[in-house]
Amino acid sequence: MKRYSAFAIAREALRGHTGWERAWRKAQPKKRYDVIIVGAGGHGLATAYYLGKNFGITNVAVLEKGWLGGGNTGRNTTIIRSNYLQDPSAAIYEKARSLYETMSQDLNYNVMFSPRGVMMLAQTEHEVRGYRRTAHANALQGVKTEFISPKRVKEICPIMNIEGPRYPVLGALWQERAGTARHDAVAWGYARACSAMGMDIIQKCEVTGVQVEGGKVKGVTTTKGDIACEKLGVVVAGHSGVVSEMAGFRLPIESVALQALVSEPIKPVMDCVVMANTVHGYMSQSDKGEMVIGGGTDGYNNYTQRGSFHHIEETVRALNETFPMLSRLKMLRQWGGIVDVTGDRSPILSKTPVENVFINCGWGTGGFKAIPGSGWGFAELMAKGQSPLTDEFSMWRFREGKFIDESVAAGVAH
């Protein structure tokens, strides 16, 4: 694989951009792999990448039923932060955030990480208490956050109305090195690096069955034929319940639609990310100038990648309160994804009842930010059978009552 560089851009500009290679090889499935990952979203691709980079395991296939990055990885609003309450969460999200800092250099692919700062508004006394508590927890965990005053909120984000009408801003949990990255680029950068290590990324290849013999995985049935494997990683977000059923076990997980929308592009008006969880909406501005907006999940389980209309109305109404200037803005487009939500709002990175089948899911409305940390830990779990990053996230914690309650940090969204 040729390295991307300023020199390469200049060279290609001079020769009419005829010399760029394909970013990743178009692969056909082999008969057998050491590891198969199902799902070429960010988490699946990052897992494959760290299997190769950290453990030298490169006889790997990543199977994707659609196109890579076409699931939630290409549909999210790209917020990255690590201000979670519980220690295991802070560890994996902060690992991810710190990997984002150097991801462009590591992958030799510009993922446009922009640590512009994320604030989570406190608009009730409960939120003030909750976020102060999180700030204290973060201090102990080595995650840099602070609880800031309404005056400071207004200084950082002048377009915000902090006076109400329903819920005045009472303060905010602020993480300065949190921000955003370009979601497609994260998937593409990992895919390119995996392909360069000799791994096969096979698109339009749906897994339709999991072959198990004597309690151990033997391979998968796919729309491109049967493929044998030693180990299987299931990383399919909203379809986790469907694929786990193929392997013969059930997951404590629900699938619901979550949607987002963007406005017409306007001049730069805000250079941070704001989340208003009480009124239920959040917003940032993309490099193109569009306001990137999201809200809550649909209130019922479903597999449609659309989302219901009333949620768009609710989200826009909520943000109009916080940002009155939005009322004149036209919305350009809207889309949805199917997110996989657990009861304690924390992910599952775990062995399963089937030997050598591993599951990575439950990132729900907020897993984009976790991609590198999740890939790092899940690769270690798959390679060595254990990882300090994933130890607490076993699927059996629900049976044992060892919940990792993140309803304050992740109950609403992102």
Ligand X SMILES: Cc1cc2nc3c(=O)[nH]c(=O)nc-3n(C[C@H](O)[C@H](O)[C@H](O)COP(=O)(O)OP(=O)(O)OC[C@H]3O[C@@H](n4cnc5c(N)ncnc54)[C@H](O)[C@@H]3O)c2cc1C
3-state secondary structure of 79: strand
Q: Shortest approach of ligand X to residue 296 CB, angstroms? A: 10
Q: Shortest approach of ligand X to residue 347 CB, angstroms? A: 9
Closest residue by Cα to residue 120 from 5, 291, 281, 238: 281
Residue 237 φ/ψ, nearest 5 degrees: 45, -115
Q: Shortest approach of ligand X to residue 19 CB, angstroms? A: 30
For residues 170 and 292, which CB has a smaller minimum distance to ligand X in the complex?
Answer: 292
For residues 29 and 294, which CB has a smaller minimum distance to ligand X in the complex?
Answer: 294
Binding residues for ligand X (CB under 6 A): 38-44, 63-66, 70-73, 75-79, 206-207, 235-237, 239, 243, 258-260, 294, 337, 339, 363, 365-369, 414
Closest residue by Cα to residue 76 from 360, 364, 347, 317: 364
For residues 20 and 67, which CB has a smaller minimum distance to ligand X in the complex?
Answer: 67
For residues 130 and 336, which CB has a smaller minimum distance to ligand X in the complex?
Answer: 336
Q: Shortest approach of ligand X to residue 180 CB, angstroms? A: 8
For residues 4 and 322, which CB has a smaller minimum distance to ligand X in the complex?
Answer: 322
Residue recorded with tokens 């991810």: 96
CA angle, 255 then 191 then 386, to 5°: 65
Q: Shortest approach of ligand X to residue 64 CB, angstroms? A: 5
For residues 117 and 170, which CB has a smaller minimum distance to ligand X in the complex?
Answer: 117
Residue 143 φ/ψ, nearest 5 degrees: -100, 125
Q: Shortest approach of ligand X to residue 8 CB, angstroms? A: 29
Closest residue by Cα to residue 307 from 265, 373, 380, 255: 255
Q: Shortest approach of ligand X to residue 210 CB, angstroms? A: 10
What's the one-letter identity of residue 106?
D
Q: Shortest approach of ligand X to residue 114 CB, angstroms? A: 13
For residues 170 and 173, which CB has a smaller minimum distance to ligand X in the complex?
Answer: 173
For residues 239 and 345, which CB has a smaller minimum distance to ligand X in the complex?
Answer: 239
Angle between helices 87-101 and 371-384 (to 10 degrees): 110
Q: Which helix (H) or strand (E) holds 60?
A: strand 60-63
Burial per residue of 349-366, b for 16 or more beta-carbon CB atoms within 10 angstroms, e otherwise? bbbbebebbbbbbbbbbb
- Whether residue 178 contacts residue 101, with contact meaning beta carbons closer than 8 Å, is answered with no
Residue 272 has which token pair?
């941070």
Computed from CA positions of residues 74, 273, 281, 361, in that sequence, does the dihedral angle turn out positive or negative?
Answer: positive
Rounded Cα distance, 172 and 392, in Å = 29
